Amino acid sequence: MDRTFPFGFPGATAFYLTIYVLTLVIHVLFMNYVLAGTGYLLFCRWRDGSGSIADRGLRAGDVLRDWMPFALSGAITAGVAPLLFVQILYKENFYTANLLLYHRWMVILPVLIIGFYMLYLLKTQWIERRSALTRGVVTLGALFCFAFTGLSWTENHLLSTDTASWPGLYESGSMVYYHRELLPRLGMWAVGSIPTMALLVAWQLYVLQRSGQEPNELEPRRLALLAVVGIALSVGCAGLYGYQMTSEVRSHVTGVLAGPFLLAGVVGLVIQIVAWLDQGKKTRFCPRALAAGSAGLLLTIIGMTTVREAIRLASIDVTPLYVRHAESAEKGGLYVFLAFFGINAVLVAWAIRLTRSRVVHSAD
């Protein structure tokens, strides 16, 4: 670990680490949309009370409500890929944490199913006819489901790296693991999701704006404010988290291993702030500002996801796993995967294009 990620590792390990981080980045994008989006929907409920605001143009909340179930599908689908690679990379660590948390871990599945249906419920006419309280409770319920899922992943992650605690936790029969890094880390994920969500919604509103559905003219400013507040909070949480780390881990984060990625993350934040300040001054969504913001966002997410990996690599000894990564890398099928990845990417694009071929048929 005396070279920058992923270069200090043997070929196979570096290879799996890289695809793991890249696939996790996709999961993070969707997951952020779901987590912060549901939070924002709750905020909208509270802000708007029971009054109707439909007449003043499109707002972020409308788009979020509409797309949230799909985004959750996306978060789950995109979660499967890193789930595959985390098992190849960390094997026993990942499995043991799963087993120790046991029912507490498995419960995220029914919880996600409930969350899913709550999101669908939020799209129905039925819920619109209910009282503000009912709508608030359903939104809060969905938010709780996703926050709980996030907490569980963070808990599982920290436990997977804390090998010394395993026998004791097992003996106690407790299915809850607490670590002082848990809350700042979770906090970082939670507030860090806000700028991502703001940007993704802004793009959606921009697409609608182009198709003639004008967003509310205050929306660019609101989203800019939201994003900048999210960024500020993330920086705060990151500071707190960094403070909780052991000095050894911190030295890897700021050192050769992950230092460049940390820097990239910070540069990304600055770019995002500048882009949002620009966008916030306008009354319509501006693709240039959003593109700049997206570049910054990607830089930040890739940077921070890599830093996250560096923290894990600094916390556990992965050297015994190198041989096994090399063995895995010898298994066939990579080319078949690459071929179908290409083919299916084209088919996915085609499916999306087909939705543009809208024709209202009058025949039936």
Structural element, H or E, at residue 170: helix 166-172
Rounded Cα distance between 330 and 8, Å, is 20
Rounded Cα distance between 217 and 121, Å, is 28
Residue 146's binding partner out of ligand HEM, another protein, none, with CB under 5 to 8 Å set by partner kind = ligand HEM
Letters for 108-147 (x = contact with ligand HEM by CB under 6 A, - = none) are ----x---------------------------------x-
Q: Does 149 bind ligand HEM (CB under 6 A)?
A: yes
Rounded Cα distance between 149 and 118, Å, is 15
Nearer to ligand HEM, 95 or 341 (CB): 95
| Nearest-approach distance from CB 86 to ligand HEM, in angstroms | 5
Q: Would you give the DSSP letter of residue 216?
A: P
Nearer to another protein, 50 or 172 (CB): 172
| Inter-residue contact 142 to 118 (CB < 8 Å) | yes
Closest to 231 (Cα-Cα) out of 186, 173, 296, 279 = 296
Select the span of 32-40, 225-233, 289-297, 344-352 touching another protein (CB under 8 A): 344-352
Nearer to ligand HEM, 42 or 224 (CB): 42
Candidates 16, 189, 241, 285; binder of ligand HEM (CB under 6 A) is 189
Q: Does 313 bind ligand HEM (CB under 6 A)?
A: no
Q: Which of residues 207-236 bind ligand HEM (CB under 6 A)?
A: none
Q: How many CB atoms lie within 10 A of CB 217?
A: 12
Residue 323's binding partner out of another protein, ligand HEM, none, with CB under 5 to 8 Å set by partner kind = none
Q: What is the Cβ-side half-sphere exposure of residue 245, based on CA atoms within 13 angstroms?
A: 22
What residues pair up with 215 in beta bridges, in sequence order?
Answer: 58
Classified as helix, coil or strand, 215 is: strand
- Which burial class, exposed, middle or buried, applies to 338 when counting CB atoms under 10 A from its CB (0-12, 13-18, 19+)? exposed
Q: Does 37 bind another protein (CB under 8 A)?
A: no
| Inter-residue contact 195 to 205 (CB < 8 Å) | no
Rounded Cα distance between 60 and 194, Å, is 13
Gyration radius of the chain over CA positions = 22
Nearer to ligand HEM, 16 or 276 (CB): 16
Tokens of 171: 């003996």
Q: Which of residues 74-103 bind ligand HEM (CB under 6 A)?
A: 75-76, 79-80, 82-83, 86
Candidates 12, 17, 21, 34; binder of ligand HEM (CB under 6 A) is 34
Rounded Cα distance between 128 and 148, Å, is 26
| Nearest-approach distance from CB 197 to another protein, in angstroms | 19
Binding stretches for another protein (CB under 8 A): 70, 73-74, 76-77, 79-81, 83-85, 87-88, 91-92, 95-96, 98-100, 102, 105-106, 109, 112-113, 116-117, 120, 166-167, 170-171, 173, 324, 327-328, 331-334, 336-337, 340-341, 343-345, 347-348, 350-352, 354-355, 357-361, 364
Binding stretches for ligand HEM (CB under 6 A): 24, 27, 31, 34-35, 72, 75-76, 79-80, 82-83, 86, 112, 146, 149-150, 153-154, 157, 160, 185, 189, 308
